[in-house]
A = this chain, B = another copy of it.
Amino acid sequence: MISVEDARDRILAGLHPTPAETVPLAEAWGRVGAADVRARVRQPPADVSAMDGYALRAEDGSLGARLRVVGTAPAGHPWSGTLAPGEAVRLFTGSFIPPGADGILLQEDATEADGVVTVNEPTAKGRHIRRAGQDFCSGDVLVPAGKRLSVRDIGLAASGNHPWLSVHRRPRVAILATGDEIALPGEPIPPGGIVSSNAHALAAFVRAVGGEPMVLPIALDTLDAIAAGADAARGADLLVTTGGASVGDHDLVQAGLAARGFSLDFWKIAMRPGKPLMFGSVAGLPALGLPGNPVSAIVCAVLFLQPALAKLSGLPAAPPPRTRATLAAPLPANDHRADHLRARLNVAADGSLHATAFERQDSAMMRLLATADALILRAPHAPAVAAGETVEVIRLEGLGV
């Protein structure tokens, strides 16, 4: 049995980012950039007004001065002349400053009548003028490669004049649930069978972390069925299997995949829930074997599948985001397996997090898992922890999990 960290490192070492594809800006939100997005224009494109008012020579803007209004320059309709002494041009937020002008008289500090504007507050040179390129200049990196594109990144890429973006292809994940005893929801349930939840929970997980799931037909517990599953996964970036539990998790899956040249990297890790995790590759296709138990499958997905998808997506390889919380109730010492306690989180008035592990940690209780806010991480052989001490937790909600 190897450690959670070793297992994750070995999985990540076997995975490589997907190649780039070009997508419309309008479909790029949430995707991972495959190239730096550099500005193709500068912003603002010229010196512009930050306010509604009048452009003038600042030296003309003394209290009580009266200037001739020689034009109007709404945004998008710049005034074409050059401002002479004693002249003013009406303008608005975003209007280009006409040549010759270096001051802005605010609308609320002006009185206009009969084509003449009177200065009611002296104007200062350069004030209320946004300089060309103040936000960015051509060639500036607006969004670095390898970042999941946020709403603001999309706005920036648009401002930088990009109708298309280069992003990593969504990782395709083939999901193969195995077992004679499982049936998809709504289908006839075999005698002694149960309704299968893993395939669609994992498909949702893959979507939640930015991948594209392919749910393969359920494989019965035969070598041929499992080998056929591996065939059906061709073209995927990752094959995820679950179960094989009827004769011990993965015994049968390994044997079935062996018919297609499976090469095992590791099997079984020192953790709870989820010991029978498996990783290897089938003819170049990385294959991650998750436990058939639904709770173990989800916990293993958080610990291993999320980082795997991140790496395939072009994001930095990293463990799932952790944070610290204060323990609300004590925990006993841990044994030799890393534990992942389902827990509730409360936010105190000062914003700090308080974690309480559920009393029952039965890995067969999916409904209990669904109400958990976080997993409390317990390292192998971790000593007992008193209430009030801090522990590391993985929050589940933030991942959409």
Contact = CB atoms under 8 A, between A and B. Distances in A.
Interface stretch (A22-30, A81-89, A222-230, A231-239): A22-30
Contact of A347 (B246, B323, B365): B323
A52 B248 contact: yes
Contacts of A95: 192
A155 B246 contact: no
Interface size of A as a range: 35 or more
Contacts of A140: 367
Contacts of A136: 367
Interface in A48-91: 50, 52, 73-78
A151 interface: yes
Total copies of this chain within the assembly: 2
Contacts of A327: none
Contacts of A190: 76
Contact of A298 (B152, B162, B366, B370): B152
Interface string A121-144: 000000000100011100010110
Contacts of A153: 370
Contacts of A364: 44, 50, 130, 134-135
Interface stretch (A111-119, A200-208, A308-316): A200-208
A325 interface: yes
Contact of A180 (B77, B135, B155, B325): B77
A318 to B, nearest CB: 15
A366 B135 contact: yes
Contacts of A160: 185, 195
Contacts of A52: 248
Interface stretch (A258-266, A329-337, A348-356): A348-356
Given A41-B195, A44-B364, A134-B362, 15 more contacts: A28-B204, A29-B400, A76-B179, A76-B181, A76-B182, A78-B191, A92-B247, A93-B292, A95-B192, A135-B367, A155-B200, A155-B201, A158-B185, A324-B350, A351-B390
Interface of A: 25-26, 28-30, 41, 43-46, 50, 52, 73-78, 92-96, 130, 134-136, 140, 142-143, 149-164, 179-182, 184-187, 189-201, 203-205, 207-208, 215, 221, 245-248, 292-294, 298, 301, 323-325, 347, 349-353, 362, 364-370, 390, 396-401
9 contacts: A26-B215, A44-B364, A74-B221, A77-B181, A78-B192, A135-B366, A151-B298, A158-B195, A324-B349
